[in-house]
Amino acid sequence: MIQKNFIPNKTALITLIAACLVVIISLGIRQTFGLFFFDFEIDLGCTQTQFGFAMGIQLLFWGLLGPVFGIITDKYGGRIAVIIGFLFYLAGLYFLNYGPNTGHWFTFDIGILIGIGLGATAISIPVSIVAKHFPLNTRTMATGIVTAAGSFGYFISPMYTRYTLLEFGWNATLVIFGIMIIAGLIVAFFLSTPMKQPEQKNEDKQTATEAIKEAFSNKSFNYLTLGFFVCGWHIALVATHIPMHIRDNGLEDWTATAILALIGLFNIFGTLSSGYLSTRISKKKLLSAIYLLRGISLIYFIFMPPNVINALIFGITFGYLWLATVPPTNGIVGHIFGTKYITLLYGFVFLSHQVGSFLGAYLGGLFHDLYGSLDYAWYISIALSLFAGLIHLPIKEKAIERQQLATSEI
């Protein structure tokens, strides 16, 4: 049950619901692209390396455009940013379906165009819009709800997509995705970005340029940014290449669908738990624990015998930790720097996430084509879990003291 004072006002409630629907659509579609690989391999002549590279470019552009859409959100409102993003998303699906869609065009369609669309419609922008409506003591719970909604999209999309791929083919499936994007465009009009954020202390005169310089001169911000790189690597490697890994180990293709669906289902509980715990315990310690537990989940998955039961256990455990990093990460940014430029600053943190995503998706495919398996990519993933578990511990969860040195705003 949501406490009586959890929702500040009606506008905050409408925005929260709209943001949830946006990420359900955007992330739900994004989660399923790995299931298309075998069709793309046959019909478009796509190799594992090419597919991994295109998906990596998608994730990289998702991150690169995050700060840009953050500026648009802070200046003109989240509604405008999300609408622009969905238009790029729709264009990518259209050209991927109707061409040109082979060779470099494949990378342009699924990589660049859809990547730009994700920059505005996936987690970072909707979460930051919602964060502006909620005070510090309930902010991580609110952002956890949005993240959990994305997890619901993760849960239902793999099952539905596998059905439509088997029954109607990949072209018809992309048409259905296009209809969902159009629905997202309508929902975007209900997003509202408040002109005045809660608990704004001594930051109203700060410019965006000053905010960026301040953030990157702060060691805690840089540690957080490095840690989120690891999150991106993990998620991209699993989402992009788990179907191939499952086939390599002699399991039925439906097992990969089940893993992705379980990741979505249990991530709902994981993100809600993370959002709640972020209001009760140290956010940096929570993040450290999440990354270390990811390493344990990966070790179990890689070194235990490859069978359906162990695969499903991985889907459950890794799913619980999948996007659990988002509420405490966003919460630390807002806690240290305030919410005036939270969308912009979180955009830079998320860019690091997407650089990790690019490398996870691309190198996973490259390693597979070179060595015939994803083993080296998994080993790197385990080492990165340990790194991320340690890098968060020096973070200082304390709001900075800021003197007003107003300059002209960019």
In the chain, domain spans:
10-192+207-391
The pLDDT tens digits of the residues spanning 248-286 come to 999 988 999 899 889 988 988 888 888 889 888 899 999
CB 315 within 8 A of CB 295: no
The predicted model scores a pTM of 0.79
Give me the architecture of the 10-192+207-391 domain, per CATH: Up-down Bundle (1.20)
pLDDT at 129: 87
Whole-angstrom Cα distance, residue 68 to residue 266? 32
φ and ψ at 29, to 5 degrees? -65, -45
Q: Are 320 and 270 in contact (CB under 8 A)?
A: yes
Q: Three-state DSSP class for 237? A: helix
Report the alpha-carbon angle 379-262-351, nearest 5. 55
Residue 196 has pLDDT above 70, yes or no: no
User: In this predicted model, what pLDDT tens digit does every residue of 346-376 receive, in sequence order?
Assistant: 878 888 988 998 999 899 989 998 998 899 9
Q: What is the overall mean pLDDT for the chain?
A: 87
Band of residue 25 on the pLDDT scale cut at 50, 70, 90: very high
Measured between alpha carbons, how far is 277 from 273 in angstroms, rounded to an integer?
A: 6
